[in-house]
Amino acid sequence: MRRRRRPQKERSRKHTMTRCFAVACCALVSHLALAHDACPSRGDLSPLYCDEDRDLIADAPKDKAKWRNPASLMLSYSPQEDTAAYEKLWAPYVTHMSQCLGRSTRFLQVFSSAAAIEALRSGRIQFSLLATGDTPFAVNVGGAVPFAGIGDANTLLGYHVVVLVKHESNFKKLAELKGKRVAHTTPSSNSGNMAPRALFPAEGLTPDKDYKVIYSGKHDNSIMGVLNGDYDAAAVADDVLDRMLSRGLVKTGSFRVIYKSKSFPAGSMVHAHDLDETLSARLKSCTFSYAFSADLRTAFQGSDRFVPMNYQRDFESVRNVAQNSGAASLRPGFDGGNGKKRESGK
């Protein structure tokens, strides 16, 4: 059946509407592009954030209506060891923050760093303890603002990347691990993956070339795996090993260290970039006023407080390692919410 041809006037009206719609779409795209380009500096940050002062962290929204000021607060962390033990360890700090801030503060237990960072970005949590390797990732895609680190009156606490082998093994240097079973922890881990990838080649051992990387999931898994013979060696953070030794989970003399790196900052305390400025100032003040419990002092090599941190300065070595290792922590696919990248990033 022959299709009836529309009148010329109707066709013209339809074409006019189509052109108007196209023009409107172009205008909308141009508006979004201009809004996107309105940020003069972003660096490695997600397009969600801007860094006009070029301190490498997200600025607070200029529109104060976008600032968050919840009646109750949530704290989280980068899971590194036994989650229940870690929550118990920080319980006195959570209590202190509730009392100091005058509003309910609770601890959100998570089982991956990606979950902690997404909770920060979405506003489910307001502040978090982060592992070293997770910090740049959280800054760039989660809007995290590092403001404190663990330390004492004189300095920030640091840790070293160490490679452990069983005490009775014959390994004495990294180059002897070619073709052996070497454990890394997770892709985002500074000491457990990114630093080994950046630093080991100079010692005659290249990950994924001289040995196949085996991810254990956590530092304590790597340590116990060496002890149980699952791995010939493992790259871990020495402060995690120290905590396991102090808790009696492993015995002194069970391992030998055949490699030790320079010092890296032992994680960070961050808050969300979009907190109400009065709340964020109060959160910092209360954090710096907290005196560590005896258990925390024991766990963190005598450190007794949080001390101010400058992310641009104090995490320069960590960012360099991430870049030199080829890791995608500075521009990860986590943007847009489709990432499943990070577990524990000590």
- How high is the pLDDT of residue 62? 94
Q: Which of 320, 325, 316 is nearest to 197 (CA)?
A: 325
Work out the number of other CB atoms within 10 angstroms of the CB of residue 240: 24
Contact 184, 214 (CB under 8 A): yes
Longest dimension (CA), the chain: 93
Q: Which of 103, 85, 82 is nearest to 94 (CA)?
A: 103
Q: How far apart are CA 202 and CA 213, in angstroms?
A: 17
- How high is the pLDDT of residue 300? 87
Please identify every stretch of the chain with a pLDDT value under 50, giving residue numbers as ranges: 1-4, 7, 9-36, 329-344
Residue-wise burial string across 305-318, b where 16 or more C-beta atoms lie within 10 A, e elsewhere: bbbebebeebbebb
Long-range Cβ contacts of 294-298 (<8 Å, 24+ apart): 295/89, 296/89, 296/90, 296/92, 296/93, 298/246
- How high is the pLDDT of residue 327? 62
- How high is the pLDDT of residue 322? 85
Contact 304, 291 (CB under 8 A): yes
- How high is the pLDDT of residue 309? 95
- How high is the pLDDT of residue 325? 79
Tally the C-alpha atoms within 13 A of residue 23's C-alpha that lie toward its C-beta. 6
Dihedrals phi, psi of 315, to nearest 5 degrees: -110, 15
